[in-house]
Structure 1
């Protein structure tokens, strides 16, 4: 397959969305728009795709979206948003709006599955059979790849709504509108704002509540290790990026809790397994590009 074909990709995020045009692996143009209402956001993205297509038709579109989304192709709402905590986005026709004007193949998946695929192809997941990409930002989501293939079943994994063991003495009720103190309701951006009663970016690193946050992320990490045996667990998203001191705290707790049980886990291996994405902020948009390539089986 010709890897110099013109490709389009869209990463739909909870706060901002990105459309890009690439020739093979090389990104030629990229625009960013705020994620507001479905009508406004999807129209802006579609208009940009139309502009690029009119200048030179692209060969495929990859769409990586926040979720939950319908990935079952035999369902009438395939490519649409399911019930989501993000206001006004439930049942939004994401893939139909972005693909219907164009005569080319397309592939649709979650933003975290896309990011996991990008890290598997070009980043920290290279040479690994199993990769889990976790983003902690406006929400919390995780994508899981086995042998380079995103895992789907009845739907995509909904790791953000797992309930984990709470830290002793932590009475925070959680911020998830569906489940209260699921892991998203404990450590995602809105949860941290509620925990601290402040923008988490203004909270000092030595605030004692960060210990509870690290405990909660460590519990999630242990759950992922025990259920998937992932060779890489990559933490991206705004919370992980803005508070890098959390990851060493998480590793320490995971090794303390599981190191005597899992033979592959110790302080040294934890640094390789539990780490930031190598692609940084590019994991998301490059994940959408990886999906565009997958639509053509490049």
Structure 2
């Protein structure tokens, strides 16, 4: 009998839930907007309960937007902490699932969960040291060193690294509510839209936005190379769907 698992990507904009054995054997899936905690969590639990009979699932994995309390010894383990998402700060994500579903549950950041997926099934198969970075509404990063994810005191916030910002070339102040012109403030999807007045997918491949975007992302990638010496850096997220961007980043990294 095939082992089945439930998986949840708990995003700040939408949640994606599925029942699967592996990426090529997905039995059911759904996605819905992120509203308020009780409603959103309840929708996810109801989906899982409708799709599967008690005892059929081997476990549940949750990858969530953050920041998160990931310390199992903490009284607020499984909580969102100081997130700017309205209504979600100090929300308990984990225990409602444990209480209702009573399943072995893995809980981590959304980007750490994506990194585990890359290690098991994707571009990091066979590697022990790599970084996965997602560039979309925000910028998040996960690092694996000697086969283990980096957690540390809380979890890495690679999107908030400071990078050189030439304000004569780019006077844009950045969109990060905490730091202004950190990597996330300068290179996310919202930063592209705010700087150029159009969403990234509306800009043509030859637009100067992409040279600037590649420059900033290359600076962030170079910082990670110098710090962690990974075997590979994997880039994902909505912004990276622009196919012209990856070769521009690669060239810019080599020039740093």
State the TM-score, normalizing by the size of structure 2: 0.93
The Cα of 1:202 is off from its aligned counterpart by 1.3
The Cα of 1:5 is off from its aligned counterpart by 2.2
Name 2:62's counterpart in structure 1: 63
Tell which has more relative contact order, 1 or 2 (C-alpha 8 A, sep 6+).
1
- SS where residue 104 of structure 1 aligns? coil
Name 2:33's counterpart in structure 1: 34
Name 1:120's counterpart in structure 2: 119
1:9 aligns with 2:7: yes
1:228 aligns with 2:225: no
- Cα distance in 1, alignment partners of residues 6 and 133 from structure 2: 24
The Cα of 1:131 is off from its aligned counterpart by 1.8
- Cα distance in 2, alignment partners of residues 85 and 247 from structure 1: 30
The Cα of 1:24 is off from its aligned counterpart by 5.7
Name 1:87's counterpart in structure 2: 86
The Cα of 1:238 is off from its aligned counterpart by 0.6
The Cα of 1:10 is off from its aligned counterpart by 0.7
Q: Could you list the per-position Cα deviations for residues 24-71 of structure 1 after superposition, in whole angstroms to 9, with x for gaps in the alignment?
A: 663211111122322322111111122235455412111011111111
- Cα distance in 2, alignment partners of residues 215 and 86 from structure 1: 29
Q: Could you list the per-position Cα deviations for residues 216-267 of structure 1 after superposition, in whole angstroms to 9, with x for gaps in the alignment?
A: 10000000101111111111111111x121111111111122xxxxxxxxxx
Does the Cα contact within 8 Å between 1:70 and 1:82 map onto a contact in 2?
yes
- SS where residue 21 of structure 1 aligns? strand
Q: Could you list the per-position Cα deviations for residues 136-185 of structure 1 after superposition, in whole angstroms to 9, with x for gaps in the alignment?
A: 11111011112332111101100011111124621110001111111111
Name 2:211's counterpart in structure 1: 211
Does the Cα contact within 8 Å between 1:79 and 1:108 map onto a contact in 2?
yes
Does the Cα contact within 8 Å between 1:117 and 1:148 map onto a contact in 2?
no
- Cα distance in 2, alignment partners of residues 24 and 137 from structure 1: 25
- Cα distance in 2, alignment partners of residues 24 and 125 from structure 1: 16
- SS where residue 23 of structure 1 aligns? strand
The Cα of 1:105 is off from its aligned counterpart by 1.2
**How many residue pairs are counted as aligned between the two chains?**
254
Name 1:193's counterpart in structure 2: 193
Stretches of structure 1 that go unaligned for 5 or more consecutive residues are 258-298
Aligned pair partner of 1:18 in 13, 16, 23: 16
- Describe the shift of the 1:255–1:24 C-alpha distance in structure 2 as closer, same or farther (beyond 3 A): closer
- SS where residue 11 of structure 1 aligns? strand
Does the Cα contact within 8 Å between 2:94 and 2:107 map onto a contact in 1?
yes
Name 1:132's counterpart in structure 2: 131
CA RMSD, 1 decimal: 1.8
- Cα distance in 2, alignment partners of residues 197 and 174 from structure 1: 14
